[in-house]
Amino acid sequence: MIRFEQLPELSLYVHLPWCVRKCPYCDFNSHELKSPLPEQAYIDALIQDLQSSLPQIWGRPVVSVFIGGGTPSLFSAQSMQRLLSEIRSLVPLIPDAEITMEANPGTFDAERFAGFRDAGVNRLSLGVQSFMDSQLHALGRVHDAEQARRAIAQAKPLFDRLNIDLMFGLPGQSLEALEAELDILSGFEPSHVSLYQLTLEPNTLFAVRPPSGLPDDDLLADMQSLVIERLAQRGLVRYEISGFAAPGQECRHNLNYWSFGDYLGIGAGAHGKLSFADRIVRTVRPRHPDGFMRQPAEGGTETPVRPEDLPFEFMLNALRLIQGVPSGRWAQTTGIQVGSHPFLLDRIGLAQSRGLMSVRPDRFQASARGIELLNDLQSLFLP
Ligand SMILES: C[S@@+](CC[C@H](N)C(=O)[O-])C[C@H]1O[C@@H](n2cnc3c(N)ncnc32)[C@H](O)[C@@H]1O
Ligand code: SF4
């Protein structure tokens, strides 16, 4: 039975669902902008969504905000200012709350980005993907390598905390080509990098027509090792499957997801997870921007998480963290004592006996082999 004495930390996710163009590999809820951006109407809808969600999070401090997409940087600084002012007036943000915004280098404009910072954004996440024009073209990106470099150079003095998203395992990419990408990346001395292996997601153009020359599994494994080694040489420690950071620069918002904290998700298609005294629910807002704007507070879904699903949901997140989580985190975020969930204990024992989890009483942590075989490890916790 779920019973909380104290609820976990709460974050806020805000989804802005438009992009200049849909990238052929992307399965995020992002829609190509075919008419003028309905900025005012969408911000109004977000505020309405937040207002009607307040009874679910009454009085709880919010530790971080993540404005994701889509391409949030399509919005004006004034809209961001209005959104963040409303958020501040409606929910108690902690004084040093991390406020991240995602941005596409193809939408970069130094003055507008200074406006985002003045509105309160204190962490920027730039979707660079590659520093090679040929790759950016193959990925259907709206920007070239020069725009990506310029965006980083201009964003650095504006934001103390800057993340760069890159992908590897790209069509025709060799180990040497990846090495060249990492060299260029290092030249910018980033304090946070997310390096994702390109995946072919169902319902994307790439899934229907995969690009030719995708690296095989052996090359991918070599690429993964190269990424870890090169970034470590630059002081960027792998703290999560795809996340690398200088000490203290880890993304607090994502750390809250991975340590199974709570988050309110507002905006088209946004997902949320919220705990109450005796239950945990998952929420999903209407996916289409028009539908969401028509009825921001209705038409979404709210599903209770079944206690038998909690081991998988918890481990799906916690085991992504290279250091794992303190074992006490389970009870703090599920409201169930470890000893009261025989299935959880059984599966941890199984994972440990297969060498996939460290044998430590104080932490739930994947072993080095468990990180390599993360999907297999996580699926041991399926009910
Ligand atoms: C929602 S996007 C936000 C950034 C922004 N929209 C942009 O692309 O510039 C988050 C990141 O997910 C990564 N991503 C998206 N689809 C992916 C895929 N199929 N495989 C690997 N990484 C992917 C990209 O690195 C992207 O920057
Ligand atoms: S710009 Fe980002 S969110 Fe938009 S389609 Fe491309 S990867 Fe997806």
Non-local (6+) Cβ contacts of 284 within 8 A are 265, 269, 270, 271, 272, 300, 301
End-to-end CA distance of the chain: 16
Among 263, 286, 347, CA closest to 7: 263
Predicted pLDDT at 346: 97
Give the integer Cα–Cα distance in Å for 65 and 62. Answer: 8
Predicted pLDDT at 220: 98
Domain with CATH 1.10.10.920 in the chain: 307-383
Give the integer Cα–Cα distance in Å for 242 and 294. Answer: 36
Predicted pLDDT at 313: 98
CB atoms near residue 313 (< 10 Å): 19
Taking the CA atoms of 313, 5, 363 and 349 in sequence, report the sign of the dihedral they define: negative
From ligand 2's centre to the CA of 29, what distance in Å?
Answer: 9
Among 180, 214, 179, CA closest to 197: 214
Determine whether the shortest distance from the Cβ of 369 to ligand 2 is under 6 A.
no
Choices 3.20.20.10, 1.10.10.920, 1.20.1250.20, 3.40.50.300: CATH for 307-383: 1.10.10.920
Ligand nearest to the CA of 243: 1
Alpha-carbon distance values, 331 to 231, 314, 346, 348 (Å): 34, 11, 16, 15
Ligand nearest to the CA of 105: 1
Predicted pLDDT at 234: 97
Tally of CA atoms within 13 A in the half-sphere of 252 that contains its CB: 18
Determine whether the shortest distance from the Cβ of 68 to ligand 2 is under 6 A.
no
From ligand 2's centre to the CA of 269, what distance in Å?
Answer: 15
Give the integer Cα–Cα distance in Å for 204 and 196. Answer: 17
CB atoms near residue 112 (< 10 Å): 16
For residue 152, what are its two tokens? 């980083």
Ligand nearest to the CA of 18: 2
Domain with CATH 3.20.20.70 in the chain: 10-255
DSSP 8-state symbol, 213: -
DSSP 8-state symbol, 7: P
Helix (H) or strand (E) run with residue 379 in it: helix 374-379
Predicted pLDDT at 297: 82
**355 and 367 Cβ atoms separated by less than 8 Å:** yes
The list of the chain residues with pLDDT below 50 reads: none
Predicted pLDDT at 63: 98
Give the integer Cα–Cα distance in Å for 321 and 308. Answer: 22
* Residue from 20, 28, 167 whose mutation best tests the ligand 2 pocket (most atoms within 8 A of CB): 28
Specify the pTM. Answer: 0.97
Alpha-carbon distance values, 366 to 120, 334, 343, 356 (Å): 36, 20, 18, 6
Alpha helices in 2-106 (DSSP H): 39-57, 77-90
CATH class of 10-255: alpha beta
**261 and 12 Cβ atoms separated by less than 8 Å:** no
Predicted pLDDT at 17: 98
From ligand 1's centre to the CA of 236, what distance in Å?
Answer: 20
Question: How many residues are present in the chain?
Answer: 383
Predicted pLDDT at 125: 98
**Cα-trace Rg, the chain:** 21
Q: Looking up tokens 């040497």, which residue turns up?
A: 176
* SS3 category, 13: strand
Q: β-strands 262-266, 10-16: how paired?
A: parallel
Q: How are the residues of the chain apportioned to helix, strand and coil, as percentages rounded to the nearest 5?
A: 40, 20, 35
DSSP 8-state symbol, 74: G
